[in-house]
A and B are shown apart, each in its own frame.
Chain A
Amino acid sequence: MVDVAKSFEAPIKIVFPKNLATASDFTLLGLGDIVLPGFVAACWR
């Protein structure tokens, strides 16, 4: 499943390298983990 996300080359995820110098080993965060709490946070306005 991670292989699916890594093979799919599109900006559908937030990535950050575990090693900033080489930028090799990336951690993933799905966009749904930003958008769905963002809906709840947008209720405060």
Chain B
Amino acid sequence: MEASADQEWRGCVCSAALSFQADGSPCTARRADYIKLSFRSVHLYAVPIAVGISLAQVLTSHWILSNVVALAFAYNAISLLYLDSFATGFILLGGLFFYDVWCGRSSCRFRPRLSVLTRAARRAAGGSLAAKLSLEQAQT
């Protein structure tokens, strides 16, 4: 690929045909764009690094590589959506708070760290047998 450093190559999968256009113009209007890909020269260096990290994570499943891949997922999720106002964010966090409180007491299997909450609550309850029993009843 003889792209210069600041030139952007766009490719569109237009009706199952991959077409590259050097001027960055989109595909013609009468053909539907199913997938739109854009390549910059940064990707020449970034894509091999990303593929290497992913392959190393699959092959070794080392915890640092797993953290890198998980943080990449989190970064993608943050950049995929964005909130329009702070009120939405605070409603979201408040809902998450009550979800954690409610789901930490009952047996919710979808969030893995919730039994940590249950354990912390049980530890905080200490020798109080009634609190312990109510927590265990709520868990089963």
Contact = CB atoms under 8 A, between A and B. Distances in A.
Interface of A: 1-2, 4-5, 8-9, 11-17, 23, 26, 28-40, 42-43
Contacts of B31: none
B114 A31 contact: no
A43 B77 CA distance: 14
12 contacts: A1-B114, A2-B115, A4-B109, A11-B69, A13-B70, A17-B63, A26-B63, A28-B113, A31-B70, A36-B96, A42-B78, A42-B82
The 8 lowest CB-CB distance pairs between A and B, nearest first, are: A5-B112, A40-B89, A1-B115, A11-B69, A38-B78, A11-B70, A11-B66, A34-B74
Contacts, number: 85
DSSP class of B's interface residues: helix, strand, loop or mixed? helix
B113 A30 contact: yes
A42 B114 contact: no
A4 B67 contact: no
B112 A15 contact: no
Interface in B102-140: 107-109, 111-116
B71 interface: yes
Interface residues of B, number: 31
Contacts of A28: 112-113, 116
Contact of A30 (B78, B82, B112): B112
Contact of B83 (A16, A32, A33, A40): A40
Given A1-B109, A36-B93, A12 B82 contact: no
